[in-house]
């Protein structure tokens, strides 16, 4: 093998001061990853300027044109050149980088965009004339008068023309346009009182409006609820829980979807810190932990959560694009999210997503019999219904011997319309079909209950409640297991020991960087203590908290509840079915089984009648 001789005699590397153009292009590489990044910076500037209406026009996915117009405070002609200089901003004075109340604060967005594209800024402040300034490839032009009623219009053409290599890494126009749309929607959620519009003007002309959200009115929650309905969808607004929780200086508000309204991927999780959209692993992990025992691992919750705190409790200056944050006390924030979500889930009771019923109705396919006929039929009177029930009673009695369907007899002096149980949320049991599904009648329609899934959830919640009252029993190891760990991991685990002890896991320092596992949860039986500790450590390092142990315990309880619940195929009497319905109404989170599937489907009478052409 040949060895290269050292570079003896060659001059060493020379340190050079880069020129401003190169510095700005480097800064642009950090801040402006793609057209969506440029849109984010410009729209955030408009929000900081106090705009009440913001419109965005793009062409070719933002590669050839991005135009952001707002009705904010605008800039004076003398401020325009300074606005294009690096680290020039009106939002902070530089004395305290932890007391930040605005989206932007670095003062490098416009300078960076001007370094990699053709940027034109037109602005007019109250009491001043309109003015315009252009910069191309970092070269700033002269100030010119311009006609503008007020506010600011920023036009960015040919993004990355000064750094053409970056264009090779751009995705398709459609993908870039979708990314821009996602940015606008996230900012629209953060600011319900501002009107937003996004228009694609590729090919010239007026183009096509791809998103619009008019300013919402009302209090905080009403305005936010209306804006979320516009951005995420009406189904989410109808099937979400209001979140409002506080802890140690942190306040969490927003809306979170019911467990039965979930997604197959984590594509609809929107998190905000002091109004700033963020993508933070710790926050996402906490959101997942809040739904831990109501969703299976392949389902993901839908939520829009807003965390507000004093600016000095969070550092937003830890990422070039400000998409990540660092909390002074991440454990408090994680605990707030988990407890706030679980409290809301418990308050939702037996509520299940209305989309389940919609999907059920959609599965019904009427038999094609030519042109549809609509029947207008009056509802029968109580006397007519009573006579009808009496006439049907013999045939109902014949069904008692069937193993696939059975109806509960109605006393001679009573019929379902007089049954007070029909006024209950889940109604009165009327029949059982296939020895697994309970048919109940309510004042507004019918309810179909999966008896095994429902009772499994009830038993599971009962086991959790009993464990919460009496604690988790711990089993002492005959010989404590000594586990050697890196020093940092040992310190992390030791700090978390007080939180793990109530779950039955007792650990103690064992000199140096080792820990001794003295007790493990008895419900887990024989457990690999080392593997358990390493799993807990991984979660602590990744998310700032660990739910591994709790998840394992809950999994055991879930299996126990499955074996201890009413099995499919069991024939139930009327009093048993009604007792199950009443317990479901009184038990939190009974609207979904332990895996997030619905335990019942509610169908409105009007929808059923529509299926049969009665309306």
Cβ pair 311, 99 in contact under 8 A:
yes
Structure tokens at 86: 């690096």
Please provide the average confidence, as pLDDT, over all residues in the chain: 81
548-563 and 529-543 helices cross at what angle (nearest 10)?
A: 120
Beta-carbon contacts of residue 490 (< 8 Å; ≥ 6 apart): 509, 513, 514, 515
Query: Is 270's pLDDT higher than 60?
Result: yes
Structure tokens at 203: 């090919």
Q: How confident is the model at residue 400 (pLDDT cuts 50, 70, 90)?
A: very low
d(Cα 245, Cα 256) in Å, to the nearest integer? 13
Structure tokens at 608: 């059923």
Report CA torsion sign: 609, 611, 613, 615. Answer: positive
For residue 99, the model assigns a pLDDT of 60
d(Cα 320, Cα 112) in Å, to the nearest integer? 12
The DSSP code for 598 is: B
The model's pLDDT over 515-525, given as tens digits with 9 standing for 90+, comes to: 999 988 887 77
Q: What is the mean pLDDT of residues 380-400?
A: 48
For residue 455, the number of C-alpha atoms closer than 13 Å in the C-beta half-sphere is 20
For residue 64, the model assigns a pLDDT of 92
d(Cα 108, Cα 88) in Å, to the nearest integer? 7
The model's pLDDT over 180-216, given as tens digits with 9 standing for 90+, comes to: 999 999 999 999 999 999 999 998 878 899 999 999 9
The model's pLDDT over 438-460, given as tens digits with 9 standing for 90+, comes to: 999 998 889 999 998 888 888 88
In the chain, the percentage of residues whose pLDDT exceeds 70 is 77
For residue 470, the model assigns a pLDDT of 77
The model's pLDDT over 330-357, given as tens digits with 9 standing for 90+, comes to: 889 999 999 999 898 888 777 766 666 6
The more confidently predicted of residues 399 and 127 is: 127
Q: How confident is the model at residue 529 (pLDDT cuts 50, 70, 90)?
A: confident
For residue 11, the number of C-alpha atoms closer than 13 Å in the C-beta half-sphere is 3
d(Cα 536, Cα 542) in Å, to the nearest integer? 10
Structure tokens at 256: 């979170």
Q: What is the mean pLDDT of residues 354-375?
A: 58
Query: Is 398's pLDDT higher than 50?
Result: no
Query: Is 612's pLDDT higher than 70?
Result: yes
Pairing between β-strand 208-213 and β-strand 53-59 as defined by DSSP bridges: unpaired
The partner residues of 155 in beta bridges, in order of sequence, read 67, 120
Q: How confident is the model at residue 581 (pLDDT cuts 50, 70, 90)?
A: very high
The model's pLDDT over 299-334, given as tens digits with 9 standing for 90+, comes to: 899 999 999 998 888 887 666 666 778 888 888 999
487-500 and 529-543 helices cross at what angle (nearest 10)?
A: 100
Sheet bearing 405-407, strands edge to edge: 405-407, 428-433, 437-441, 445-450, 600-604
The model's pLDDT over 544-570, given as tens digits with 9 standing for 90+, comes to: 666 666 777 777 677 767 766 677 778
User: Helices in 105-250 by DSSP H: which ranges?
Assistant: 109-116, 173-190, 220-231, 234-238
The model's pLDDT over 119-147, given as tens digits with 9 standing for 90+, comes to: 999 999 999 999 999 988 778 889 999 99
d(Cα 407, Cα 475) in Å, to the nearest integer? 50
The model's pLDDT over 402-451, given as tens digits with 9 standing for 90+, comes to: 445 556 555 554 444 445 788 888 989 999 988 889 999 998 889 999 99
Nearest-5° Cα angle at 310, 308 to 314? 85
Pairing between β-strand 240-247 and β-strand 303-308 as defined by DSSP bridges: unpaired
Tally of CB atoms within 10 A around 529 = 21
The more confidently predicted of residues 588 and 225 is: 225
Buried/exposed 421-449: b ≥16 CB within 10 Å, e otherwise: bbebbbbbbbbbeebbbbbbbbeebbbbb
Query: Is 157's pLDDT higher than 50?
Result: yes
Beta-carbon contacts of residue 329 (< 8 Å; ≥ 6 apart): 248, 313
Buried/exposed 353-373: b ≥16 CB within 10 Å, e otherwise: bbbbbeeeeeeeeeeeeeeee
d(Cα 14, Cα 228) in Å, to the nearest integer? 55
Structure tokens at 552: 């394992």
| 41-55, 178-192, 528-542, 555-569: least confident range | 555-569
d(Cα 92, Cα 501) in Å, to the nearest integer? 46
Phi-psi region of 37 (alpha: psi -120 to 50; beta: other; left: phi over 0): alpha
Structure tokens at 602: 């509610």
User: What is the reported pTM?
Assistant: 0.73
For residue 10, the model assigns a pLDDT of 56
Q: What is the mean pLDDT of residues 466-485?
A: 85
d(Cα 161, Cα 118) in Å, to the nearest integer? 8
d(Cα 293, Cα 338) in Å, to the nearest integer? 12
């Amino acid at each position: 093998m040949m060895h290269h001789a050292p570079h003896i005699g060659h001059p060493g590397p020379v340190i050079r001061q880069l020129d401003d153009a190169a510095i700005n292009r480097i800064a642009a590489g950090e801040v402006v990853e793609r057209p969506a990044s440029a849109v984010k910076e410009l729209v955030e500037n408009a929000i900081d300027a106090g705009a009440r209406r913001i419109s965005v026009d793009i062409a070719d996915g933002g590669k050839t044109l991005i135009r952001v117009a707002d009705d904010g405070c605008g800039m004076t002609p003398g401020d325009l050149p300074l606005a294009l200089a690096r680290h020039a901003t009106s939002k902070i004075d530089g004395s305290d980088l932890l007391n930040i109340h605005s989206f932007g604060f670095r003062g490098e967005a416009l300078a960076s965009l001007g370094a990699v594209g053709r940027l034109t800024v037109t602005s007019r402040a109250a009491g001043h004339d309109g003015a315009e300034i252009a910069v191309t490839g970092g070269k700033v032009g002269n100030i010119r008068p311009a006609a503008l009623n007020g506010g600011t219009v920023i036009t960015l053409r040919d993004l990355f023309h000064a750094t053409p290599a970056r264009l090779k890494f751009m995705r398709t126009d459609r993908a870039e346009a979708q990314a821009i749309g996602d940015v606008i929607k996230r900012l629209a959620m953060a600011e319900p009182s501002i009107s937003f519009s996004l228009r694609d003007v590729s090919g010239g002309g007026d183009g096509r409006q791809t998103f619009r959200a008019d300013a919402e009115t009302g209090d905080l929650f009403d305005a936010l609820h209306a804006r979320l309905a516009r951005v995420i969808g009406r189904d989410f607004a109808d099937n979400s829980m209001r979140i409002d929780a506080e802890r140690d200086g942190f306040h969490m508000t927003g809306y979170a979807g019911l467990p039965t309204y979930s997604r197959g991927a984590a594509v609809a999780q929107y998190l905000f810190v002091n109004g700033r959209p963020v993508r933070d692993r710790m926050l996402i992990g906490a959101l997942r932990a809040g739904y831990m025992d109501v969703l299976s691992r392949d389902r993901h919750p839908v939520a829009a959560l807003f965390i507000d705190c004093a600016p000095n409790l969070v550092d937003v200056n830890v990422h070039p694009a400000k998409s990540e944050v660092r909390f002074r006390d991440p454990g408090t924030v994680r605990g707030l999210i988990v407890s706030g979500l679980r409290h809301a889930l418990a308050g939702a009771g037996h509520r299940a997503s209305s989309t389940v019923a919609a999907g059920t109705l959609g599965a019904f396919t009427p038999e094609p019999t030519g042109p549809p006929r609509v029947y207008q039929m009056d509802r029968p009177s109580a006397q007519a219904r009573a006579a009808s029930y009496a006439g049907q009673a013999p045939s109902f009695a014949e069904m008692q011997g069937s193993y696939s369907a059975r109806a509960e007899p109605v006393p001679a002096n009573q019929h379902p319309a007089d049954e007070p149980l029909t006024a209950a949320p889940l109604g009165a049991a009327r029949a059982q079909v296939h020895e697994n599904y309970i048919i109940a009648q309510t004042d507004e329609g019918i309810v179909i209950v999966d008896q095994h899934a429902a009772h499994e959830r009830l038993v599971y919640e009962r086991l959790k409640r009993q464990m919460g009252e009496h604690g988790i029993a711990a089993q002492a190891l005959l010989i404590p297991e000594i586990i050697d760990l890196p020093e940092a991991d040992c310190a992390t685990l030791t700090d978390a020991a007080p939180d793990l002890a109530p779950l039955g896991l007792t650990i103690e320092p064992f000199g140096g960087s080792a820990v001794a596992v003295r007790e493990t949860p008895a419900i887990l039986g024989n457990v690999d203590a080392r593997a358990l500790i390493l799993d807990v450590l991984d979660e602590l390092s990744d998310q700032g908290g660990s739910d591994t142990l709790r998840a394992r315990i809950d999994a055991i309880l879930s299996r126990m509840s499955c074996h201890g619940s009413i099995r499919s195929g069991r024939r139930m009497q009327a009093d048993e079915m009604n007792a199950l319905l009443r317990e479901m109404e009184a038990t939190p989170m009974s609207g979904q089984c332990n895996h997030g599937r619905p335990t019942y489907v509610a169908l409105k009478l009007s929808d059923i009648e529509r299926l049969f052409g009665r309306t």
